Structures are given as C-alpha cells and as structure tokens.
Amino acid sequence: METSPPDAQHEAYTHAQTERDVPATVRAQRISAALNRARGIRGEKWSEIAAGARVSEPTLRHIRATGAMPQVKTIHGLESHFGWSAGTVLAIYNGEPAPEQAPITNEPAPPPGKGFRWAERPDGVTDYYLTFEIGGQEVDLRIADLDGEGREAMQAKLLAIKRRTSSLKV
C-alpha cells in the first residue's frame, strides 16, 4: 500500500475535517456512492468490508449514512481493504472520484484434476467444474449450484455446454 508521510496525512485529514462549506449530506452521498461501487465490484457484504477494514459495522453504516469524517485508523483501514492509495478516502470526501477497481474474487481455485468435479465454498454453495478442450485449448468451466439442484443436474448442464461449444475455435 502506498503511504504518505504522517504530516501530509494529518494535513489532508485536517483539510477535510475543516471543509465546513460542504454539507454533510453531500459528503455522505460521495462516500456512500464510492463504498457502494467498490462493494459491488468486489461482491462483498458490508460485514466483510467492515472486517477487512478492521472497523465495526455500525461505524461503517454511520459513515455511509451521515458523511461523518472517520478517524484516521478507519480511513487507513478502508484504503487498505480496497487497495486504494493513501489519501483516497479524503479525496472522495473532497469531491474527487473513487479510483477504478478490478473485481476481486475470494472464490476457491478449482479442485485439482480433470473432467467433472466439485468443491463446496465456505458459504455452502457448491461449484461444479468440467475440464475439456475447445479448439485445442483446455478450458475449465465452472458453474455454481445456487438453487440446490444437485450433482447430476449440474453435470448435465456442464455436458450440454460442452456439446454446444466443442466445435468453437479459440
């Protein structure tokens, strides 16, 4: 994570703290929109963001709802969790756009092996995998059983996709 000298961080924090001409509702809209966008990109729950940023869920809710200026440790926690450079949260409060982010997934890697296989995620959803070739390239296709259809139904779906794609060229 990129950091700036403590004096620069304090100066930026003080500037944002004393930006009294910006209504709290505007600050709340800015930070809430940035956090909602980052949350959507990452596919996380608010509880996961709070845990990752090492802040309480009520603190995170309060910041989003009121636009209250968070403590320096909360700012650092949010920036660290989202992979933002130092000063990003304050920049958002001051009207700058949040940085672009690539999606981050915490999904498990496919289980080893080839052919049809499956693995259960920590959230209880089972992912099913099928390894096959398309145009000479090996692909590992994954689908998640979100509706609890079961192993046979998911295997049938993967095999149907394999049949439809086997003549494609990569």
Give, as one character, the DSSP assignment of residue 166.
T
Q: Return the exposure string of 80-113: e unless at least 16 CB atoms fall within 10 Å of the residue's CB, then b.
A: ebbebebbbbbbbbeeeebeeeeeeeeeeebeee
Q: How confident is the model over 110-153, as pLDDT tens digits?
A: 666 678 888 877 777 888 888 888 777 778 788 888 888 888 99
- In this structure, of 14-18, 31-35, 93-97, the range with the lowest mean pLDDT score is 14-18
CA dihedral 51, 52, 56, 58 (to 10 degrees): -100
Q: How confident is the model over 141-162, as pLDDT tens digits?
A: 888 888 888 889 988 998 888 8
How does the average pLDDT of the chain come out, rounded?
78
